[in-house]
Amino acid sequence: MRLDYENYYHIMPDGTTKQLNPFTGTEVWAVPGRSSKPVSTSHTVFPKKIEPKEKEDFCSFCETRFFETPPEKTRLVKQGDQYVRINFVPPDKYSETVAVFRRIPNLFEIVTLDYWRKNYGFKLNEQQQQWRESYLSNSVGLRHITDIINFKLNRLGKSFEEVEKIPLEEKLQMADSFFGGSHEIIIAHRHFVPDAKFDDQLISSGDLNQEEHYQYLKFAIESMVDIFQMNRYARYTSVFQNWLSPAGASVDHLHKQVVALDEWGSSIAAQTKMVMQDPNIFNEYGANFAGHHNLVFAENEHAIAFVGIGHRFPTVEIYSKSQASRPQEHSEEEIRGMSNMVHAIHMATGSQISCNEEWYYTPIDSIYKMPWRILIKWRINVPAGFEGGTSIYINPMTPIELRDRLVPVLYKLRDERRIEFFRIAEECKLRPNPLKYYLK
Ligand SMILES: [Zn+2]
């Protein structure tokens, strides 16, 4: 079979790089030189001085303000060298242990509990009912729930007097979404790096150490698995991380989100059709394609990273090489391989660049396998009128420019032993068909 690569990636004599995303059909041009504009999107133009605090209180995700977010489902606690999970911590015991990561319901769900109830007849299961009862029978818990429902009603536009008039029973009904909802947030412990002096020294994914990053990823996978167990109508979960406000984050404190959906979404559905026609498509138009165009720039035993083509924003794609096609089916070593690679890209990106991290994988009810992959998109440009009128998107960096920006930083990080010792740039093996998801 002859692969028509030039239709998807074409560098013109002046360097303009025309791209068509093989999996989404998005048409993108990148004009060289545009990236010489400064790339940092630091939201804080003039960093403000901050007082470092042992226990932080800078936002609702900080540890002294746990009662500003819904009740916690699980926390990860470090005991010696071990990470231990504690489920359903009673509200009066929140401060007895230090949560390295916490899993909490989203106060403002994208897909609400009512959606699942009204459209599918979803009911809280026994475990969720029990959690609800024990939480509400705790006086600190009852106070927490009423306060937070009052806050939510207020934010939804009700006045203080109107909120006061709503009967407690009705408010507690609203709280069901905390105990049975399918939209969770995974929150990191710290807001700022230790000893931060200015408010732009936020802790990003890249500021975690390698082990913490692995625990963070694994914790998010556990959230997915739990959501599928609790909500039998869920067919897919969207897993993503918005870093800083240009990427859509409403809070600067590091967090990921996991949202259950009753469908795959159009891009996964379209890609499933492609896999049905050609099971090896993610090698041919993903890893092999990138290899042929020297866009692969990092590789370890379990993961491979390359610059994606046909994205509206400069995008790194990290693919799992595993035969398993869903995150939860990966071995610990494979998850570590993915985590180390994602972590290294975040480190090389730095905390000042706003970015989205998006996960894709085989839906639980699909019999057609596609690989687990994580895309990191630098939100350094705002699509404007030109894009709206033409459906051609202008990406401010060519794929080669993005690769050449990351590679020297990765070498440096590796020299300093701050990332795993994996292959970089020309050291990558580039074996054909590195992704093994297609194997039965
Ligand atoms: Zn915070």
CB 17 within 8 A of CB 29: yes
The pLDDT-based confidence of 388 (bands split at 50, 70, 90) is confident
- Host H or E run for residue 268: helix 266-277
Taking the centre of ligand 1 as the mean of its atom positions, its distance from the CA of residue 69, in whole angstroms, is 12
The SS3 call for residue 57 is: coil
The Cα–Cα gap between 384 and 136 comes to: 49
Taking the centre of ligand 1 as the mean of its atom positions, its distance from the CA of residue 252, in whole angstroms, is 7
Reported as a single tens digit per residue, the pLDDT across 14-68 is 999 999 999 999 999 998 876 655 555 555 568 999 988 889 999 999 999 999 9
Taking the centre of ligand 1 as the mean of its atom positions, its distance from the CA of residue 192, in whole angstroms, is 8
Taking the centre of ligand 1 as the mean of its atom positions, its distance from the CA of residue 106, in whole angstroms, is 15
Q: What is the mean pLDDT of the chain?
A: 94
This prediction's pTM = 0.96
> Which whole-number Å values give the CA distances from 376 to 26, 265, 369, in the listed order?
17, 19, 22
pLDDT for 440: 87
The pLDDT-based confidence of 382 (bands split at 50, 70, 90) is confident
DSSP string, 278-302: -TTHHIIIIIIHHHHTT-EEEE-SS
Taking the centre of ligand 1 as the mean of its atom positions, its distance from the CA of residue 88, in whole angstroms, is 21
> Which whole-number Å values give the CA distances from 228 to 76, 180, 259, 332, in the listed order?
20, 12, 10, 20
Taking the centre of ligand 1 as the mean of its atom positions, its distance from the CA of residue 416, in whole angstroms, is 29
Taking the centre of ligand 1 as the mean of its atom positions, its distance from the CA of residue 62, in whole angstroms, is 4
The Cα–Cα gap between 280 and 301 comes to: 20
Reported as a single tens digit per residue, the pLDDT across 177-197 is 999 999 999 999 999 999 999
Q: To 10 degrees, the CA torsion angle through 294, 299, 303, 308? A: -30
Taking the centre of ligand 1 as the mean of its atom positions, its distance from the CA of residue 306, in whole angstroms, is 32
Taking the centre of ligand 1 as the mean of its atom positions, its distance from the CA of residue 191, in whole angstroms, is 4
- Host H or E run for residue 412: helix 399-415
Q: Flag whether pLDDT at 167 surpasses 60.
A: yes
Q: Flag whether pLDDT at 2 surpasses 70.
A: no
Taking the centre of ligand 1 as the mean of its atom positions, its distance from the CA of residue 196, in whole angstroms, is 13
The SS3 call for residue 348 is: helix
Taking the centre of ligand 1 as the mean of its atom positions, its distance from the CA of residue 298, in whole angstroms, is 32
Percent of the chain scoring above 70 in pLDDT: 97
Q: Comparing C-alpha atoms, which of 127, 117, 63 is closest to residue 95?
A: 63
The Cα–Cα gap between 159 and 167 comes to: 15
The pLDDT-based confidence of 1 (bands split at 50, 70, 90) is low
Taking the centre of ligand 1 as the mean of its atom positions, its distance from the CA of residue 30, in whole angstroms, is 36
Q: How many CA atoms lie within 13 A of 260 on its CB side?
A: 25
Taking the centre of ligand 1 as the mean of its atom positions, its distance from the CA of residue 254, in whole angstroms, is 8
Q: How many CA atoms lie within 13 A of 363 on its CB side?
A: 24
Taking the centre of ligand 1 as the mean of its atom positions, its distance from the CA of residue 342, in whole angstroms, is 23
Taking the centre of ligand 1 as the mean of its atom positions, its distance from the CA of residue 43, in whole angstroms, is 16
Taking the centre of ligand 1 as the mean of its atom positions, its distance from the CA of residue 85, in whole angstroms, is 21
Taking the centre of ligand 1 as the mean of its atom positions, its distance from the CA of residue 114, in whole angstroms, is 29
Taking the centre of ligand 1 as the mean of its atom positions, its distance from the CA of residue 179, in whole angstroms, is 23
Taking the centre of ligand 1 as the mean of its atom positions, its distance from the CA of residue 343, in whole angstroms, is 21
Taking the centre of ligand 1 as the mean of its atom positions, its distance from the CA of residue 218, in whole angstroms, is 22
pLDDT for 114: 96
Taking the centre of ligand 1 as the mean of its atom positions, its distance from the CA of residue 136, in whole angstroms, is 26
The pLDDT-based confidence of 327 (bands split at 50, 70, 90) is very high
Taking the centre of ligand 1 as the mean of its atom positions, its distance from the CA of residue 190, in whole angstroms, is 7
